[in-house]
Amino acid sequence: TSFLFIMCFCNVDSMLFFPSASAENYVTFALTLPDLPELSVCLWLRVEASHVGTLLSYATDDNDNQLVLYGRNSSASSTSFSASSSSSHPSYSSSPFGRFWHYSDHRLTSSGSNFRKGWEIPGGGSVVLGQEQDSVGGGFDASEGFAGQVAGFRVWNRVLSPPEVEGVADGRGVPRGVVIINRTVSCSGTLYGVKTGIGATGQCLSSH
């Protein structure tokens, strides 16, 4: 698995607002993921508290932690990042080659290799925004919940190239290969959906 993480400027036209970290506040999807030897995930987020919590979790019958993305100051994380401002646009990507990169404001700030090399994400599981799953589609814990705003969530079935990541971050179109998007969501608890024109500094993570 490989990752690319980029701080960037992005434009989104809608967002979800999680007012507090709660076991009841989360988002599920009508669609699931296919088998993914490669993966890219992008989302814009804004947080105002030191606790960010779980941004994204993907669980299957075999493993309830197939993919978990935590924000800073959350409990034991398999993949973590620390945003340098209260707004961020992470785009995460992985592939069998185990490489990763971290960009901030279009600058490469770190890179590496051998991150879960050869790993493939199995399809058919449960995708949740805002909570970690301790069972497929459930087992939520308020202490692991997300609080903040999320927009522009997408998953691709391939690794995005650096120009594509930059284009997504700048709001210049959507590359091919999207397999899940935030328009196919089902909300639970107290969440607010907002239509707006937002320009925000953020982070983008991708890998191959």
Do the beta carbons of residue 128 and residue 26 sit within 8 Å? Answer: yes
Question: What are the residue ranges spanned by the domains of the chain?
Answer: 4-205
Which pairing describes strands 87-88 and 39-46: parallel, antiparallel, or unpaired?
antiparallel
The string of pLDDT tens digits covering residues 52-99 is: 788 889 999 999 988 888 775 444 433 344 332 334 445 555 556 676
Q: DSSP state, 171?
A: T
DSSP strands (E only) in the chain: 4-18, 26-29, 39-46, 54-59, 67-70, 87-88, 91-94, 100-104, 107-112, 126-129, 148-156, 178-181, 185-188, 192-205
Q: When comparing pLDDT for 198 and 140, which is higher?
A: 140
157 token code pair: 């079935």
Instruction: Tell me: pLDDT of 171 over 50.
Output: yes
Q: How many residues does the chain have?
A: 208
Instruction: Write down the mean pLDDT value for the chain.
Output: 72
| Full-model pTM | 0.76
102 token code pair: 């971290």
- Range with the poorest average pLDDT among 33-42, 47-56, 95-104: 95-104
- DSSP alpha helices (H): ranges in 26-170? 162-169
Do the beta carbons of residue 44 and residue 140 sit within 8 Å? Answer: no
Query: What's the CATH number for 4-205?
Result: 2.60.120.200
The predicted structure's pLDDT at residue 53:
85
The string of pLDDT tens digits covering residues 130-140 is: 999 999 999 99
Centre a 10 Å sphere on the Cβ of residue 146 and count the other Cβ atoms it contains: 30
Average pLDDT of the residues in 9-13: 50
Do the beta carbons of residue 39 and residue 207 sit within 8 Å? Answer: yes
Do the beta carbons of residue 35 and residue 122 sit within 8 Å? Answer: yes
The predicted structure's pLDDT at residue 168:
77
The predicted structure's pLDDT at residue 35:
92
Instruction: Tell me: pLDDT of 109 over 70.
Output: no
Choose from 12-21, 80-89, 118-127, 161-170 the range with maximum mean pLDDT: 118-127
The predicted structure's pLDDT at residue 100:
67
Average pLDDT of the residues in 154-178: 83
